[in-house]
Structure 1
Amino acid sequence: MKKTEIGALILRIFLGLSFFLHGLTKFQNGIGNTAGWFESIGIPGFMGYVVASIELIGGLLLFVGFGTRYIATLFVFILLGAIVKVKIAAGFMGNGQGAGYELELAFAVMAIFLILKSTTPLSLDTKLFSKNQESKANF
């Protein structure tokens, strides 16, 4: 394995684990509370269930490397929504009353890298799909 492949593997595992834990926390703290919070900021409550499920299941799938490009794309949309709807008012580093959007932006950049990379070593994507399909998935 090349150094860049090891870096992509570490990044994929870290991002998958981070999203899995964020989703798990939403369910452990009461998904109804999450849905209520979504409603309080003007987003339909059912989206709390959708986001938490994508984070939980998508995080696990990203961790094992299955559907990496698709999951990373969903994560980018979630992160951009969080930045625009919740974090932008606090600024990049926060405003003393709340955290800024630097973490969400960093996660979005990681996800975009995985979208562009398409496959990483030691992933189900590379084990399940042939070389022909892999080369078609790359830009």
Structure 2
Amino acid sequence: MEKLQNLIVVIGRFFLSAIFITSGFDKIAAYSGTQGYMESMGVPGMLLPLVITFEIFGGLAILLGFKVRLFALLMVGFNLLSAIIFHADFSNQIQMIMFMKNVSIAGGFLMLVAYGAGTYSIDAWLNKKLS
């Protein structure tokens, strides 16, 4: 059962990270449109490079299991802030669904904050090496 649980943690990290890695690259491909959308929501467009960097590298850190508790905690904040800024129009059903998606993803990241990256991760490898 332990091996299955270790594999499930890796799969969970993959699922949580995939949306951010792909989203980061999508923002590069549609840079001006994304920048315009951010600005229309009151967020300075000059923050877009930071958002892209955070999504790609934060997503990769979660995927690989590197400093997972830290990056997961940052992802919790990122998701909640994004939900509030971009999806808080509860009169629009799609925006309500997007809001709840972000909150749900934040919940998944909170599980990583609580339990860590698992056995199959850079964090576990580094801890074993340092012991």
For the superposition of Structure 1 and Structure 2, which TM-score range results when normalised by the shorter chain? 0.7 to 0.9
- Superposed displacement of residue 42, structure 1: 0.8
Task: Using structure 2 for the length normalisation, give the TM-score.
Answer: 0.84
SS, match of residue 72 in structure 2: helix
Q: Which residue of 1 aligns with 2:11?
A: 10
SS, match of residue 129 in structure 1: helix
Q: How much identity, in percent, do the aligned residues show?
A: 26
Q: Which residue of 1 aligns with 2:115?
A: 117
Matches within 5 A, 1:64-79: 64-79=64-79
Question: How many residues were matched structurally?
Answer: 129
Q: Which consecutive unaligned segments of at least 5 residues does structure 1 have?
A: 134-139
- Superposed displacement of residue 73, structure 1: 1.4
Superposed CA RMSD: 2.2
Task: Using structure 1 for the length normalisation, give the TM-score.
Answer: 0.80
1:42 paired with 2:42, answer yes
1:69-107 deviation per Cα after TM superposition (whole angstroms, max 9, x unaligned): 11111211111111111212236xx525x4521211111
| Higher relative contact order, structure no. (Cα contacts within 8 Å, ≥ 6 residues apart) | 2
Q: Which residue of 1 aligns with 2:25?
A: 24
Q: Which consecutive unaligned segments of at least 5 residues does structure 2 have?
A: none
Preserved CA contact (<8 Å) 1:51 1:78: no
Q: Which residue of 2 aligns with 1:137?
A: none
- Superposed displacement of residue 131, structure 1: 7.9
